[in-house]
Amino acid sequence: MTARPGISAFFLAGGLLALADQAIKRLVTANFVLGESLALIPGFLSLTYIRNRGGAFGIFTGFPPMWGRLFFVAATLAALVFVYYLYRYKPPESAYGRLALVLIFGGGLGNLVDRVLLGEVVDFVDVYLGSHHWPAFNLADSGISVGVVLLALDVIRRPGD
């Protein structure tokens, strides 16, 4: 049986990711008007101030604003509790698996702050090739995505656990 990992490191690392995400979002909102864009790598990457009322890839954007806000706040809180439970009571044996849960938690927390304060999420990373754009995202989304991939790889690597 794996010893329970330190919970203070989990909250500290997750909190730092959420704090970094919020700091970047505040810089973007303070220095750009909604829809404004700055090409960082022309033809591929821009810093673009966008707001997303929906979920990943803009799903459920059509929800009425209050219902969407309540849905995403509740869903995010449930996900955060579940990730905490996994980390605390069913921790992955590998450091990669534990890091994955921290990234998912920190990313979820960063986007939760936006949902509670703004009713939507601030996105700013715009990756594209010509006129083909990947949905805009933020640091919190990156943490969640990288965490999910790491967790999946950890599960695939250790299928018997």
Asked if 14 and 100 touch (Cβ cutoff 8 Å), the reply is no
Cα(136)–Cα(143) distance, integer angstroms: 14
Token look-up 């991939």 returns: 149
Q: Which of 21, 114, 126, 141 is flagged as catalytic?
A: 141
Per the CB < 8 A criterion, the answer to whether 150 and 100 are in contact is: yes
- Residue 119, classified by CB atoms within 10 Å of its CB into exposed (0-12), middle (13-18) or buried (19+), is middle
Annotation says 161 is catalytic? no
Query: What is the distance between the alpha carbons of residues 101 and 98, in angstroms, rounded to a whole number?
Result: 5
Residue 3, CA atoms < 13 Å, CB-side half-sphere: 2
Respond yes or no: is residue 154 known to be catalytic. Answer: no
Give me the catalytic one of 114, 123, 126, 154: 123
Tell me how far apart the alpha carbons of residues 114 and 118 are, in angstroms, rounded to a whole number: 5
Place of tokens 């921290």: 102
Catalytic residues: 123, 141
